[in-house]
Homo-oligomer: A and B are copies of this chain.
Amino acid sequence: MEGEKWVLMVTAKTPTNIAVIKYWGKRDETLILPINDSISVTLDPNHLCTTTTVSVSPSFPHDRMWLNAKEISLQGGRFQSCLREIRARAQDVEDEKKGIKIKKEDWQKLHLHIASYNNFPTAAGLASSAAGLACLVFSLAKLMNLKEDNSQLSAIARQGSGSACRSLYGGFVKWTMGKEENGSDSLAVQLADEKHWDELVIIIAVVCAQQKETSSTSGMRDTVETSALIKHRAKEVVPKRIVQMEEAIQNRDFSSFARLACTDSNQFHAVCLDTYPPIFYMNDTSHRIISCVEKWNRAEGTPQVAYTFDAGPNAVMIARNRKTAALLLQRLLYNFPPQSDTALDSYIIGDKSILGDAGIKDIKDVEALPPPPEIKDNMPTQKSKGDVSYFICTRPGGGPVVMSDETLALLDPLTGLPK
């Protein structure tokens, strides 16, 4: 193969996910084995996803990777774990059209070029690493013709980024913590696909943060080491909630789903606060969003919207259905209108059709929004412009897919370099 010039490549698209029963704390730092099960909802890749092109060529002198068009190092232990695990499972590959044959033992010598792109801001606290590592593993598995199914692949993605394992499926996904020391049974299983409960609508508030955040890796290590409550959470509280959440999803029982998602998000942030030194991921804006949702839910007597927050101040809100989502968007825009120099079109992104359902065409409609009835008797609400950067409207979505349209590849099919 030496001296040959061909480039073989695969492009795939992988969703991000949001945990509704949270993963926080590892029992093994290297293998990334968690101290409890977790459950997530996969977000529609049309609005939030990673696209990755992986390519192999005998002309590549070493492995290289580009993220959002900028070359990054592949030397990190987590990338290396994933690459090693996948190469170890590589199979014979034949592309008859291009006249390419790769024997499984060749994969140990061949080098890779990888290009990855997020269709949403990286490091805005939107689980970009989960989608990214899942996409890396999924696309490499396709390139190298692995026989493993997505669940087995999830155990590899897990070693790149814990929550990445849950991005191998669409819909509703459980990461079972497993019992084996080598982590072979710590993997994702699909509880239900995205069509099972297709009424749900998701609105994400990307909240402006003033303070630098604690990384989730060091944060969860500190929690496991110092929190007096985390063990009780992992051993006593979460196992019951996992069973209840599986039931709620199975029965499309929104009230139970919302109650579990909200309380588990709050408890995750509670154990962060119980860490020493304490970790604060939510800020005053996050608190105000929670108050807004809680007031409304209480006024309705039954939950309309669930909220959940990851390791940052952004709120992920899950509405019962489209009608509720429109009412939620009205409330959010009433409390958090865009700054005067922000166009509504860039303030509400993703599935903008919910704006229409909410009866909002332009900024004048936002300004004309009446206070929601549940705050009628209270003091005039302080409207905070600039506390939210933008909102993303989306829904539960599907799992990873290979993109057969080669024009969508991020690498040049001749050079294997970023386009």
Contact = CB atoms under 8 A, between A and B. Distances in A.
Contacts of A280: 287, 290
A401 interface: no
Contacts of A270: 229, 270-271, 273-274
A267 to B, nearest CB: 5
Contact of A266 (B276, B283, B294): B276
Contacts of A269: 273
Nearest to A238: B228
A144 to B, nearest CB: 44
A125 to B, nearest CB: 17
A278 interface: yes
B277 A267 contact: no
Contacts of A276: 259, 262-263, 266
Contact of A273 (B233, B273, B294, B382): B273
A300 to B, nearest CB: 14
A298 interface: yes
Copies of this polypeptide in the complex: 2
Contact of A229 (B232, B262, B288, B291): B232
A210 interface: yes
A74 interface: no
A232 B228 CA distance: 9
Interface of A: 210-211, 226, 228-229, 232-233, 236-237, 259, 262-263, 266-267, 269-271, 273-278, 280, 283-284, 287-288, 290-291, 294, 298, 382
6 residue pairs, one from A and one from B, having the closest CB atoms: A270-B274, A270-B270, A270-B273, A277-B294, A232-B232, A266-B278
Given A211-B291, A229-B237, A266-B278, 10 more contacts: A228-B237, A229-B229, A229-B267, A229-B270, A232-B236, A263-B276, A266-B273, A266-B274, A266-B275, A266-B276
